[in-house]
Amino acid sequence: MSRSSEKAQSPGLEVELEPQRIAHGGVSVARLDGRVVFVADAIPGERVLARITDDSKPSFWRAETVRVIEPSPHRRPHVWPEAALERDPDDRAGGAEFGHIANEHQRELKAAVLAEALQRFAGIERPTEVEALPGEADGTRWRTRVRLHVDADGTVGPYAARSHRVIRTAGLPLVTAAIEEIAPIREPFAGADTVDVLAPSEGEARLVIGRQAPTAIRERVGGREFRLDDGGFWQVHAAAPETLSAAVRDAVDPDLFDPRAANLDLYGGVGLLAAALGDLAGPALRITSVESDARATEHAAGNLAEWVGARAETARVERWVRGLADAGAAERARLADATVILDPPRSGAGRAVLEALAEVRPAQIVYVACDPVAFARDAGTLAGLGYTLGPLRAFDLFPNTHHVEAVGRFVREGHA
């Protein structure tokens, strides 16, 4: 490359890089005199001029693309001008790190990250196509919720990529038109550090300013209505709730599904995926939804009221599942035919939850994952605990970002 690694010891140095593959987190992987460099805003297969931004780690450096020398055929004008290459890297808005890549190729890159993670962390060879969701062809106008930040002079906007500095922006192309219309990005704003803007499927778009007291809203999925807090968790892609509900139903092995078993919905939120299971089972469903957020649990109880055998409990999942594992043999036996929906946060379920869950030996686990590496690690743990990964699907719930959602079924050995 153009400079030796010995000379590239301070941020600010510009070097030519040729990224070869994509890494988890949305950055490309290049090498500079044998050293790994993670470079943002580049596409594998092209040659770029990049600025070293961090050389503090002995094993790798970080860089930002300044200029494209030989572009990839998959490069396109960025969908968000404030995040585009024409801006200095320090002034690029965060939250659309794949916006310069054609959408079909974005999905190919996400599939590669998922496949690599499964092979590396679980020893599983599983190429998987990332499926597109309904929406705009360029991957814009899908986001029904966004958090904006407010700086000391009242500027409202997203953070700059990989920083906590607010970027002024003339538009928000990933959000729905209803959100962009009311987002307070055009004039100074005072009174809070954050502003959440959301457009529920029922009712008007609204602002949630700072730590404002929650208000109940309604979201419609198919023919069913869900109540939740306006500041509570809900899938951000307009088509995601229905897509994931269908994917969970499809993932369940009907030969292993007993509606009257002690079925579980762990990290259950307001009951979206428990209801999806209910659509398979009908009124006979027994299911317990476990969620640490008390307000969400309260809403889940109401959202699942049509199933007499459904209940919602407020608890930390790891403690609750450990309580099951430590219960008597009769209690554990009630779970032997259970179907478990597992929808953990981005960090994954983790070994403690999975080991406790494996002790009660449910028949199948339907895992909904929003992070490929965390999912792969958990897949490796489950494999060691006697659960085999069966069908796996992936969905582009976050176009123009590096994020990808996966839904996989794990079956206990002896049931496969």
* Domains, the chain: 14-75 (2.40.50.140), 113-135+239-412 (3.40.50.150), 145-219 (no CATH)
CB 248 within 8 A of CB 407: yes
**pLDDT computed for residue 333 by the predictor:** 76
> With pLDDT > 90 as the criterion, what percentage of the chain qualifies?
90
Residue ranges of E strands in 244-379: 263-266, 286-291, 309-314, 339-342, 364-369
In three-state secondary structure terms, 37 is strand
Q: Judge whether 200 counts as a catalytic residue.
A: no
pTM of the model: 0.95
CB 38 within 8 A of CB 28: yes
**pLDDT computed for residue 4 by the predictor:** 43
End-to-end CA distance of the chain: 51
In three-state secondary structure terms, 362 is coil
Look at residue 351 and tell me whether its pLDDT is greater than 90. Answer: yes
Question: What's the number of CA atoms in the CB half-sphere (13 Å) around residue 159?
Answer: 9
Tokens found for residue 348: 């994954």
**pLDDT computed for residue 191 by the predictor:** 86
> With pLDDT > 70 as the criterion, what percentage of the chain qualifies?
97
Average pLDDT over the chain, rounded to whole? 95
Write down the catalytic residue from 175, 370, 382, 397.
370
| Per-residue CA distances from 170 to 76, 136, 186, 303 (Å) | 20, 20, 7, 38
Looking only at the bridges linking them, the beta strands covering 309-314 and 286-291 are parallel
343 among the known binding-site residues?
yes
**pLDDT computed for residue 361 by the predictor:** 94
CB 365 within 8 A of CB 356: no
**Beta-carbon neighbour count of residue 181 at 10 Å?**
11
**pLDDT computed for residue 5 by the predictor:** 45
Tell me the C-alpha distance between 228 and 294, whole Å.
Answer: 11
Element spanning 319, H or E: helix 317-325
159 among the known binding-site residues?
no
pLDDT category, 415, cuts 50, 70, 90?
low
229 among the known binding-site residues?
no
In three-state secondary structure terms, 335 is coil
| Per-residue CA distances from 124 to 170, 343, 407 (Å) | 45, 21, 15
**pLDDT computed for residue 9 by the predictor:** 56
b/e code 34-67 from CB counts within 10 Å (16+ = b): ebebbbbbbbbbbbbbbbbbebeeeebbbbbbee
Tell me the C-alpha distance between 115 and 144, whole Å.
Answer: 29
Q: What is the pLDDT of residues 376-389, one digit of tens each?
A: 999 999 999 999 99
Q: What is the pLDDT of residues 325-336, one digit of tens each?
A: 888 777 777 788
Lowest mean pLDDT among 166-175, 283-292, 300-309, 332-341: 332-341
Mean pLDDT (whole number) for 207-222: 95
**Beta-carbon neighbour count of residue 134 at 10 Å?**
10
Q: What is the pLDDT of residues 43-73, one digit of tens each?
A: 999 999 999 999 998 889 999 999 999 999 9
70 among the known binding-site residues?
no
**pLDDT computed for residue 8 by the predictor:** 44
CB 157 within 8 A of CB 149: yes
Q: What is the pLDDT of residues 224-243, one digit of tens each?
A: 999 999 999 999 999 999 99
**Beta-carbon neighbour count of residue 415 at 10 Å?**
16
Torsion sign (Cα): 312, 146, 91, 399: positive
